[in-house]
């Protein structure tokens, strides 16, 4: 293992050139959102990973919800908030169950499915009091939709999409 800072794009590119690395696979969301795949691609090195623009779909729940709304892609009703009082007023108006999502990347921990209004209000406090760092500076408050969650993966090159498989994330209680 080589200690490289994925946030130092120039160092990653230099390492790839020095070691004649022809393909870089960027996995974590943070470096993708920060543009590591773009920097490697711009250096003429093949890279498996989306551009920062495409990774924004993962990096911002608000951006993704807004995109779905603009493109008429079915999604639950939602509002985005940058302060706790307005978010709490909305929750009190619509009630529970409801879903609270830290807008940014929170290592898979920034979503609360609140079955009660008190749980929802506490989740808002967590977000705006820094429990998820910068990821919680903005929140998406979303309609609770009952059902199973499933993911469908495709490999895409910008023109062609090849089905890659499906998955379900069965989280344990408390995770």
Residues 72 and 40 in one domain: no
For residue range 103-134, list pLDDT tens digits in order.
999 888 899 999 999 999 999 999 999 999 99
Residues 38 and 76 in one domain: no
With tokens 């379900």, the residue in question is 168
Residues 8 and 40 in one domain: yes
Query: What gap in Å lies between CA 16 and CA 70, rounded to an integer?
Result: 39
The confidence score (pLDDT) of residue 173 equals: 46
With tokens 């959102």, the residue in question is 33
pLDDT, mean of residues 153-172: 83
Q: Under 8 Å CB-to-CB from 139, ≥6 apart: which residues? A: 80, 81, 87, 100, 101, 102, 103, 124, 127, 128
Query: What gap in Å lies between CA 48 and CA 42, rounded to an integer?
Result: 13
Beta strands in the chain (DSSP E): 23-25, 46-48, 78-81, 98-102, 111-114, 139-143, 151-156, 161-167
Query: What gap in Å lies between CA 105 and CA 114, rounded to an integer?
Result: 20
Residues 38 and 95 in one domain: no
Q: What is the mean pLDDT of the chain?
A: 93
> Would 10 be classed as within a structural domain?
yes
User: What's the CATH number where 123 sits?
Assistant: 3.30.1490.20
Residues 131 and 110 in one domain: yes
Q: Mind giving me the DSSP string for 40-76?
A: HHHTT-EEES--HHHHHHHH-HHHHHHHHHHTT----
User: What's the CATH number where 37 sits?
Assistant: 3.40.50.20
Domains identified in the chain, total number: 2
Q: When comparing pLDDT for 71 and 175, which is higher?
A: 71
Residues 44 and 84 in one domain: no
The confidence score (pLDDT) of residue 168 equals: 82
Residues 46 and 67 in one domain: no
> Would 154 be classed as within a structural domain?
no
pLDDT, mean of residues 51-57: 94
What's the domain range around 123?
60-143
For residue range 1-25, list pLDDT tens digits in order.
788 999 999 999 999 999 999 999 9
Q: What is the pTM of this model?
A: 0.84
> Would 160 be classed as within a structural domain?
no
> Would 32 be classed as within a structural domain?
yes
The confidence score (pLDDT) of residue 172 equals: 52
Residues 83 and 10 in one domain: no
């Amino acid at each position: 293992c080589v200690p490289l800072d994925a946030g130092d794009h120039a160092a990653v590119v230099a390492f790839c050139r020095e070691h004649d690395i022809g393909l870089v696979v960027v996995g974590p969301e943070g470096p993708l959102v920060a543009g590591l795949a773009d920097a490697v691609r711009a250096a003429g090195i093949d890279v498996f990973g989306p551009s920062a623009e495409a990774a924004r779909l993962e990096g911002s729940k608000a951006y993704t919800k807004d995109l779905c709304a603009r493109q008429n892609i079915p999604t639950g009703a939602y509002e985005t908030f940058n302060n706790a009082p307005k978010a709490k007023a909305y929750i009190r108006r619509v009630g529970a169950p409801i879903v609270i999502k830290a807008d940014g990347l929170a290592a898979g921990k920034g979503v609360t499915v609140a079955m009660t209004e008190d749980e929802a209000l506490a989740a808002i406090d967590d977000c705006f009091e820094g429990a998820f760092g910068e990821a919680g500076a903005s929140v998406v408050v979303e309609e609770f939709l009952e059902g199973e969650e499933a993911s469908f993966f495709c490999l895409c090159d910008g023109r062609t999409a090849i089905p890659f498989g499906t998955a379900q994330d069965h989280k344990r209680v408390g995770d």
